[in-house]
């Protein structure tokens, strides 16, 4: 994925005619990422440290799972990683409350088309 000089993604214009290309490109990447994915106890321990730091310093931490497009959830299902995703969510909520906006609904299953109401790519609403 192309990032700007500052390491962040550049602002995406929703109506620049690249929406379908972005979806296709990111779907290909999902299949590579998901087939190699393994839960990491090290990452959970890092997350626990962040949560504990916030608690100790009276910092309100709001954790949420974004409402990514259904193509992301389908990639998890097709690559047989849905159970890993569910286990990841269970481990997250065992550490701290999590707002979960993931899954299939009328927003996340918007048909892919040149101009979309809710997404400029699979992740960005």
pLDDT of residue 99: 97
Residue pLDDT, tens place only, 32-91:
766 677 788 999 999 999 999 999 999 999 999 988 888 888 888 888 888 989 999 999
pTM, full prediction: 0.71
- 11-15, 66-70, 94-98: the lowest-pLDDT one: 11-15
DSSP 116: -
Residue showing tokens 């309100």: 60
What are the C-alpha distances in Å from 87 to residues 71, 94, 98, 100?
20, 11, 14, 14
% of residues, the chain, pLDDT over 90: 34
Backbone angles phi, psi at 66, to 5 degrees: -65, 155
Residues 44 and 95: their CA atoms lie apart, in Å, by 9
Domain boundaries, the chain: 25-100
Residues 47 and 24: their CA atoms lie apart, in Å, by 31
Rounded to the nearest 10 degrees, how much is the dihedral formed by the CA atoms of 22, 10, 75, 86?
-160
């Amino acid at each position: 994925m192309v990032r700007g000089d500052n390491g962040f993604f550049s602002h995406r214009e929703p109506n620049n005619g690249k929406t379908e290309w972005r979806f296709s490109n990111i779907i290909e990447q999902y299949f590579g990422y998901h087939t190699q994915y393994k839960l990491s106890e090290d990452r959970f321990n890092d997350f626990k440290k962040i949560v504990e730091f916030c608690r100790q310093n009276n910092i309100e931490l709001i954790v949420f799972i974004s409402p990514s497009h259904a193509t992301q959830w389908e990639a998890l299902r097709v690559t047989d990683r849905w159970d890993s995703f569910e286990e990841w969510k269970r481990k997250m909520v065992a550490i701290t409350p999590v707002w979960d906006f993931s899954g299939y609904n009328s927003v996340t299953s918007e048909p892919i088309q040149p101009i979309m109401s809710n997404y400029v790519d699979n992740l960005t609403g």
